[in-house]
Amino acid sequence: MLDNTVYDQLSKLKLHGFIAGLQQQEKLSEYKEMSFNDRISILIQTEFIDRENKNMTRKISNARLKQKASLEKVKIAASRGVDKSLLQTLNSGDWIKKKLNILVTGPSGAGKSYLVSAIAEKVCRLGFSARYYRSHNLLSELCASVADGSFKRYLTQINKFHVIIIDDWALSKITEAEQKYLFELTEARNETFSTVFVSQTPVNLWHSLMPNGAIADAIMDRIVGSSGFTVDLA
């Protein structure tokens, strides 16, 4: 059995999974029959899995999701707009690699927030990063960052995430200033990152909620043009 000095050194190296595996090997006699190479391989694998799990947990926490959710718990119901093909696509993560957007629409109570939280959770489990925003708060923060001179820095911060979710999108008309900075955001993410837009308002009405028609055209082109698919929940 190793003395505490070794464990202290392993702890300082933050090899917590390795420590847990080593303690298990010392307790169970079956490991004594294994070769050194086999035992060390198991310890390295244990450390690797521990780090991966902690990294995934950290990403999910950092996503600031509205609720705990999982795609495995989303019920297939074609009548509601959720079929097996959709879940397979979401689970694969190919849409993230292709930098595609997802548009999720439907009335209040249709399950939009749960679905997008489940999507973000899966994004993190696939090794990508995600962040949840409410549309009103995001637009307010964009305008505030312009006022204090930190707009570029704030935009860079947002674009550290492979996927962002904008919930309560297009609930009401936005101002010209909000539209201008929204364009900058959609332009920065276009064909580079993925964005999930979540709205009670049908997609064909989003344009009418923006004051400047030309900029609205450009924004919608970047939202819909880079859209992988639309999920219309009933």
Q: Tell me, what's the pLDDT at 177?
A: 96
State whether 117 and 151 are in the same domain: yes
State whether 26 and 109 are in the same domain: no
Final residue belonging to a domain, choices 19, 40, 62: 62
As a whole number, mean pLDDT of residues 77-81 equals 83
The Cβ of residue 69 has, within 10 Å, a number of other Cβ atoms equal to 20
CATH code of residue 165: 3.40.50.300
State whether 36 and 75 are in the same domain: no
**pLDDT surpasses 90 at 3:** no
Tens of pLDDT along 148-205? Answer: 999 999 999 999 999 999 999 999 999 999 999 999 999 999 999 999 999 999 999 9
Q: How is 130-184 classified by DSSP, letter by letter?
A: EEEEEHHHHHHHHHHHHHTT-HHHHHHHHTTSSEEEEESTTSS---HHHHHHHHH
Name the residue range of residue 212's domain. 71-232
What percent of the chain has a predicted confidence (pLDDT) above 90? 71
pTM score of the predicted model: 0.84
State whether 133 and 203 are in the same domain: yes
The label of the residue with tokens 């570029």 reads: 152
What contacts 24+ positions apart, CB below 8 Å, involve 88-93?
Answer: 89/228, 89/229, 90/119, 90/122, 91/122, 93/122, 93/123, 93/126, 93/128
**pLDDT surpasses 70 at 1:** no
What b-and-e string marks burial along 177-205, b requiring 16 or more CB atoms within 10 Å of the CB?
ebbbbbbebbeebbeebbbbbbbeeebee
State whether 57 and 123 are in the same domain: no
Q: Tell me, what's the pLDDT at 27?
A: 86
- Indicate the average pLDDT of the chain: 93
Final residue belonging to a domain, choices 37, 62, 87: 62
Tens of pLDDT along 123-141? Answer: 999 999 999 999 999 999 9
Looking at per-residue pLDDT, the higher value among 11 and 146 belongs to 146
